[in-house]
A and B are shown apart, each in its own frame.
Chain A
Amino acid sequence: MPSTPNSASDPAPDNAGVSDTVLSVRGLTTAFNRRGHFHAAVRHVGFDLQRNETLCLVGESGCGKSVTALSLMRLLPGRRQCRVSGSAWFDGQDLLALSEPAMTRLRGARLSMIFQEPMTSLNPVLPIGAQVGEPLVFHRGLSRQEAEREALRLLDLVKIPDAARRLRQFPHQFSGGMRQRVMIAMALACRPDILFADEPTTALDVTIQAQVLALLNDLRQERNLSLVLITHDLGVVASVADRVAVMYAGEIVEQAPADRLFARPSHPYTEALLRSIPRSDRDVGELRAISGQVPPIHRMPAGCRYAPRCPVAEAACLDATPALAPLPGDPAHAVRCRVRNPAAASEGRIGHA
């Protein structure tokens, strides 16, 4: 079982690169420049990603899920607008400390990413075949012709019918679902170790969503891939996740194996999220929206970030930042709530690290 990170100052874990942990993130903090001041959109995020595992990052819009993935892929703007700190160990190297050329060699080769908007994520003036084969040109040294032949196999892999003809077409001739398949083919071209999928099905029709999700899941198992799936859709989480990290206002508030999270949601925010999805199989009583909104990054509450919206918050919640700590008796299930998890209260100081 993965150790649950609870401190920003943790050294690189000993098991990185030895066991089946492919990515080990510690104390990831990403701050954006807003009128000359840097405000953290993601704070002290830590998780371990195992080989051939699906980790879901869940949370409502603006909670820092995408920023987490973009920080790890190093796709955010430069230091003047955005600062990333912490560590992310992958194959014996810290992604956050790598030089830009070294990172370019990893991107698309061993770390890949697909995005929420298949309609705008493909280059409108380049043929599909050239776009899908491109990672092979830069990472494997294939010629453009060889890459295009390989692209044909990849389009077959993601089940695009009539791939030979499709290869020469342009993005505007593809539907949204087909474009997302193209994105997946492109991301998997060099057989990466990790795929970050940022809301890959959100922009698609419901029926297409299920197909694309099933495809991703099949390919993950087939290719021994680790998948970081970002979503706000708990239905998606329930169907594919091995492990879940629930994010709120830039922090992970609860992290657990999927079955245990659904069986025993422990953070009040997770509970509220689960209560807010309609279910046809069981009567969960009245559907409840979570009142209030995620605080903007430049006006974060001092103590627990969820406290202002939390039904169980106590006076102490507003003062000290709770830690993400394992539940007593369940080391794989971590909860950042002093009310629900006594262990979280005792490490309140980490918020000031």
Chain B
Amino acid sequence: MFRYTLHRLLAAVPTLLAVLTVIFLIIRVVPGDPAIAILGDNASQQVIDAFRDRLGLNDPLWVQYGRFLAEIAQGDLGSSMVSGRTVWQEVGAVLPYTIDLTAASILIGILLGIPLGVLAAVHRNGWIDYVTRLVSLLGLSFPAFFTAILLILVFSIELRWFPVISRADMADPADRLYNLVLPALSLGLIMTAYVTRAARSSMLEVLGEDYVRTARAKGVPPRVVVLHHALRNALIPIVTVIGLYLGLLIGNSVLTEIVFNRPGLGKLIVTSLNQRDYAMLQGLMVVYACFIVVVNLLTDLTYGLLDPRVKHQ
């Protein structure tokens, strides 16, 4: 298992490098001079040139690229061109909100999605299966902001159970949880829809396997056949889906954070985009890329835990 972990870690390095290169190029390919964007259209050419010089934008591309990589290697992601604060400071301020939201929605997705998917597969073509399929289809079809607005309408405006604007006091655990419920539900339900579908199809496949028949042939009770023999095998593709949709979750969290007016990485990225804060944007993209690489690494490591064939390779 240690060698496998090391292997996966090393394999993540070239991935990260490739992603960083793409980020660097994208930022420089997009139209719009950041200097003009920051200084305004009325700035004189002299000022603009001086500003570009200060940002190093007049250097050759490969010099900029080298500097970019060297800075990242030192953990320096640059500073916002608007607020002047470093990317780390800006990210650090909203990271707890994002982690809360992401973790809670994944938890909801797993806790609801896996049992629902398993139930649907075991009672294939029964009413549980039809209801589950219908609900998960709705979950997949609704855009994130739509679910969020529905939740606000019902639980905040009609029932007045939860706040419309979820801006929690992070120091107070009760307030933190209270403000998390609706945003987490709105994202978590989408996650549940994905996990349910993956769990159902994966379970259906596994339930048809020969080793499930073997388990039944040796008199293992049906519950144990499903939960012990089948589910462990079915979890492998489910983990893949959860890993994949974690990336999607980040995209959806932008919408959720805007609707609930909740601080977070997603909102930060949209704000930077609107302000053409390209240094900030670049830093945030690096943070996201690292995040995805870590998620993939965790997914791989989970395979190793679930499937003995993986770690013996």
Judge if A73 is at the interface, Cβ distance under 8 Å.
yes
Chain A residues with a Cβ closer than 8 Å to the other chain, count: 32
Judge if B232 is at the interface, Cβ distance under 8 Å.
yes
Judge if B215 is at the interface, Cβ distance under 8 Å.
yes
Complex interface residues of chain A between 33 and 84 (CB less than 8 A to chain B): 73, 75
Complex contact A124–B309 (CB within 8 A): yes
Judge if A316 is at the interface, Cβ distance under 8 Å.
no
Judge if B142 is at the interface, Cβ distance under 8 Å.
no
From A114-122, A271-279, A321-329, the one touching the partner chain is A114-122
Complex contact B218–A73 (CB within 8 A): no
- Of the four ranges (under 10, 10 to 19, 20 to 34, 35 or more), the interface on chain B belongs to 20 to 34
Complex contact A123–B220 (CB within 8 A): no
Contacts of A73 on B, CB cut-off 8 Å? 217
Judge if A166 is at the interface, Cβ distance under 8 Å.
no
Contacts of A100 on B, CB cut-off 8 Å? 222
From A4-12, A132-140, A151-159, the one touching the partner chain is A132-140
Complex contact A107–B217 (CB within 8 A): yes
Q: Is the interface of B mostly helix, strand, loop or mixed?
A: helix
**Contacting B218 at CB < 8 Å: which of A112, A117, A120?**
A112
Complex interface residues of chain B between 236 and 273 (CB less than 8 A to chain A): none
Contacts of B222 on A, CB cut-off 8 Å? 100, 104
**Least Cβ distance of A196 to chain B in Å?**
9
Contacts of B217 on A, CB cut-off 8 Å? 73, 75, 107-108, 112-113, 115, 187
> Nearest chain-B residue to A104 (Cβ)?
B219
> Nearest chain-B residue to A189 (Cβ)?
B218
Bound: A138/B229 CA distance, A: 14
> Nearest chain-A residue to B213 (Cβ)?
A75
- Mark interface residues in B208-242 (1 if CB within 8 Å of A CB, else 0): 01110111111111101000010011000000000
**Contacting B211 at CB < 8 Å: which of A105, A113, A120?**
A120
Bound: A100/B216 CA distance, A: 11
> Nearest chain-A residue to B216 (Cβ)?
A75
Complex contact A123–B211 (CB within 8 A): yes
Complex contact B210–A115 (CB within 8 A): yes
- Mark interface residues in B273-313 (1 if CB within 8 Å of A CB, else 0): 00000000000000000000000000000000011110010
Contacts of B221 on A, CB cut-off 8 Å? 104, 138
Bound: A49/B34 CA distance, A: 88
> Nearest chain-B residue to A103 (Cβ)?
B219
Judge if A18 is at the interface, Cβ distance under 8 Å.
no
**Least Cβ distance of B179 to chain A in Å?**
40
Bound: A113/B125 CA distance, A: 29
**Least Cβ distance of B304 to chain A in Å?**
12
Complex contact B211–A134 (CB within 8 A): no
Contacts of B309 on A, CB cut-off 8 Å? 124, 170, 172
Complex contact A123–B214 (CB within 8 A): yes
Contacts of B219 on A, CB cut-off 8 Å? 104-109, 135, 138-139
Complex interface residues of chain B between 161 and 189 (CB less than 8 A to chain A): none
Complex contact A125–B220 (CB within 8 A): no
Bound: A73/B209 CA distance, A: 17
Known: A125-B307, A134-B215, A170-B309. 19 other contacts (CB 8 A): A100-B222, A104-B221, A108-B218, A108-B220, A109-B219, A115-B210, A121-B210, A121-B214, A123-B214, A123-B215, A123-B229, A125-B308, A134-B220, A135-B218, A135-B219, A138-B220, A139-B219, A183-B214, A187-B218
Seen from chain B, the residues whose Cβ lies within 8 Å of a Cβ on chain A are 209-211, 213-222, 224, 229, 232-233, 306-309, 312
